[in-house]
Amino acid sequence: MTKLVYKYDKDTKEYKYYLRAQKNSAGNYILPPNSTFIEPMGNVEGKVRVFEEGEEEGWTLQDDFRGQLQINLETKVLSTVQYIGAIPEGYMLYSDYQNTEAYREEMRQAEERKKAWLSLTPREVFLALYKDKGITPEQVRAQLTDPQDLIEFDHATEYLRGNPLIDKIGEKLGYTPAQLNYLFEHKELPEVENGIFG
């Protein structure tokens, strides 16, 4: 019966390949470095066969996430997994993290930040208001009583969606935050059916 030698990587100890065992002049089988006569178990998807050296030597199945992204849960820094074994405490596979409530909340906040920096010129805002409800700049200005609000309204070269003044004016004119978001994304107000947006 042919005797086989099973080679493993000298650093990671993962199974590499097998070859026919050779005999020495005394007729004994030669065991090359980083190899064993112990046959490994069958391959399992997502796992790697690793040889454990020592008194209780043998093959073990360990997780293999190499090449995938992991995230540091504290710093949120992404990195590529380059090791064999389980993901350490404080880290998570990014693909798993994307299914968490924490990730969804981060995406929601990122979307809000992005919207906050959307801008329109006064001309674009007033044209949209006039086309939607026939509202003129004078009618908008009449809603403002605070001196600082009036200065911002009169002298702005652009209006940022994240400016609280936009929500204040929008509320006075009967617009919801969702409608204002639409305005800054599309430069027009959304159509409203039966008095309900969306």
User: Which DSSP string corresponds to 79-121?
Assistant: EE--SSSPPPTTEEEHHHHTTSHHHHHHHHHHHHHHHHT-EE-
Region 166-187: what's the mean pLDDT?
93
Asked whether residue 83 falls in the same domain as residue 52, the answer is no
The yes-or-no verdict on residue 193 having pLDDT over 90 is: no
> Does 69 map to a domain?
yes
What pLDDT was estimated at residue 54? Answer: 86
Which pTM does this prediction carry?
0.63
Helices marked H in the chain: 94-97, 101-116, 122-133, 137-141, 147-155, 164-173, 177-186
Mean pLDDT calculated for residue range 3-12: 96
Q: How far apart are CA 34 and CA 40, in angstroms?
A: 14
- pLDDT for 197: 39
User: Which tokens hold the place of 135?
Assistant: 């509202």
- Do 48 and 70 have their domain in common? no
* Domain count for the chain: 3
Q: 169 with 186, same domain? A: yes
Tally of CA atoms within 13 A in the half-sphere of 46 that contains its CB: 1
- 19 within domain boundaries: yes
Confidence of residue 126 (pLDDT cuts 50, 70, 90): very high
Confidence at residue 194, expressed as pLDDT on a 0 to 100 scale = 42
Judge if 147 and 175 occupy the same domain.
yes
Find the domain containing 183 and state its range.
114-197
If 0-12 CB within 10 Å is exposed, 13-18 middle and 19+ buried, where does residue 125 land? Answer: buried
Whether residue 107 lies inside any domain: the answer is no
Q: Which of 93, 100, 96, 99 is closest to 65 using CA atoms? A: 93
| Average of per-residue pLDDT values in the chain | 92
Flag whether 120 is in a domain: yes
* 198 — pLDDT class (breaks 50, 70, 90): very low
pLDDT at 73: 95
